Structure 1
């Protein structure tokens, strides 16, 4: 059977609901735009991205508002999930009743594609190609464990295109565009997920405290949120509790994990520890946060340019600058902002003397 140019044009103007879902799974709101609801899609994208930004900015504040963070994350993830249903509904509303009746009368190839992009093999189970589905599913598990993430994306593409081929034997215009659409989805998914991961990892990370060197401020097994952006725009200050990679001296002693200490001496300052008191430029430093006064003597010693002098709050049980020297600025990568676990210790970390 052939279609008239008018009938063909009408069919091409119809929207595939599962294509809308696939698009909105990459970026919320895009599926609605595809379905013809431009303003709706823009609003969904703005709220989705804005809620994530709200949570991120709150996490970067010294006094974290857990309620705002929780609300932002709740809106972000809930909207991202609801948006999939809305994209599907928006596309259906754009279609004629005749097209929807025809689409629902048989298994939807784009649903099979969506399922395969979700979990390779799932689309094959949907169309009852059980053997192929098992092969793709097992291959995905093996590749996810042993290979880089990009190979999982290749498997997603292969499974999605393979399942679509099973359901559309004829070589029409729609089928010729399928590899391009699926490939763009896989590439976009990898790019978006990598970008989000990169942005998150460059701004924040979590750490736990493995030693007693910062008692009483930080206890063993405290879980922290670390701000990795502050020192890209500001210099470290006295009293900041910082995370840093091991210095050359520490690396030679086979230390590889990051350290966490408090900044005591700034570049150009003279540091001395004498009679249980830290002195900066011969002036005593008030330190209400330490476990007990230091019992050792140190200095006087001048902190070199672009270096810092760091000590643990547990002064007499801390392997810090008194032993291994000054800390180069380039080794500092984060500022400890807040304790998020255990719950009874949750809150901002005391920074300044």
Structure 2
């Protein structure tokens, strides 16, 4: 058996495995086509995939992007990815693609590697190595699940996936026939791709906060249940008229009876050191009346004048007469500010950038 396998992989140096091509396209769409000799097609597939992926990410997260467009683009992106796998196989052979663990499964070791890319240990189960396959499967899926809650484990699942692929390849291919350079390329792409996928959500969470508008206090600018992207930046310096998201103060908890861990959305009206007053139906800063075209009604209450303390802000809702804001619970410490809200990303009919 070993001799026959050796003959297959050593007597024909130009041999290209269709399942090796599939493995390459798993880690990067188009790579399998390049491996199979269809270089131009592979490059076109790779460019199309990454251009669409980049535009989708931009559409979802950029202030001027349309979130819905970005989400819809995930369908053609998935189509290109899956299509590239099938096409990579057919670039080398016209045989039908067979995904099976039964007796009709291909005997190509790269098929076992492909199965192990899907789930660690699946390639071993295909080779009827139940014990080690089960161990890889249990350990791999368990660590992947735990990594969702413990970021320090994010490196572990890709390494387990790679180890499973390397082990089944080492077991199935005789020493003289092993193509370690091709395997190393596939494993490097596997680890890099899964690390990128694993670290992307925490990375996004480090720079962006999501907030659901809890009340009508910011109408008409914001509606109840609008979903906002908030840019978190330690060096952010609030500016007049910025819409900011912040953790509620203790005074707000006591006056408004809100939960201590709640988030609020208001507009910056006064900065540290400025004198703020509300009279004659509008807000005044340092004796100058503010021009606020986003307000639908004049302000019906009077407040101040008071100077904004250092490291504090004076914030008001756009729906001034029905907003629990600084005129009720006082000045906002800047340390409570999470960041500036820069985009309504949902619902679809409300998607728009915020000034």
| Separation of aligned partners in 2, 1:255 and 1:157 | 45
| Separation of aligned partners in 2, 1:33 and 1:232 | 45
Structure 2 partner of 1:99: none
Question: For structure 1, which runs of at least 5 residues remain unmatched after alignment?
Answer: 96-103
Change over 3 Å in CA distance of 1:211–1:82 after alignment to 2? same
Cα displacement (A) at 1:86: 1.9
Change over 3 Å in CA distance of 1:294–1:15 after alignment to 2? farther
- Where 2:299 maps in the other structure, the secondary structure is coil
| Separation of aligned partners in 2, 1:219 and 1:150 | 41
Structure 2 partner of 1:39: 40
Query: Normalization by structure 2: what TM-score?
Result: 0.72
Cα displacement (A) at 1:132: 3.4
Structure 1 partner of 2:315: 310
Query: Normalization by structure 1: what TM-score?
Result: 0.72
Structure 1 partner of 2:243: 241
Change over 3 Å in CA distance of 1:118–1:235 after alignment to 2? same
| Separation of aligned partners in 2, 1:91 and 1:201 | 42
| Separation of aligned partners in 1, 2:215 and 2:22 | 48
Residue range with higher mean Cα deviation, 81-90 or 268-277:
268-277
Q: Does 1:75 align with 2:76?
A: yes
Structure 1 partner of 2:18: 17
Structure 2 partner of 1:100: none
| Separation of aligned partners in 2, 1:201 and 1:47 | 28
Deviations along 1:215-262, whole A, 9 cap, x unmatched? 554444x25241639x79997654332335679999xxx966654322
- Where 1:134 maps in the other structure, the secondary structure is helix
Structure 2 partner of 1:325: 331
Deviations along 1:2-41, whole A, 9 cap, x unmatched? 99xxx94x73332222222222222222222222222222
Task: Indicate which of 281, 287, 290 corresponds to 2:286.
Answer: 281
Whether the 8 Å CA contact 1:25–1:84 is kept in 2: the answer is yes
| Separation of aligned partners in 2, 1:36 and 1:233 | 50
| Separation of aligned partners in 1, 2:214 and 2:352 | 19
| Separation of aligned partners in 1, 2:107 and 2:246 | 56
Residue correspondence of structure 1 range 136-215 to structure 2 within 5 A:
136-147=136-147, 148-168=153-173, 170-174=174-178, 180-181=184-185, 183-194=187-198, 196-197=200-201, 201=205, 206-210=210-214, 213-215=217-219
Q: Does 1:335 align with 2:307?
A: no
Change over 3 Å in CA distance of 1:236–1:325 after alignment to 2? closer
| Separation of aligned partners in 1, 2:180 and 2:70 | 45
Q: Does 1:224 align with 2:227?
A: yes
Q: CA RMSD for the aligned pairs? A: 4.4
Residue range with higher mean Cα deviation, 114-123 or 283-292:
283-292
Change over 3 Å in CA distance of 1:183–1:71 after alignment to 2? closer
Structure 1 partner of 2:57: 56
Structure 1 partner of 2:101: none
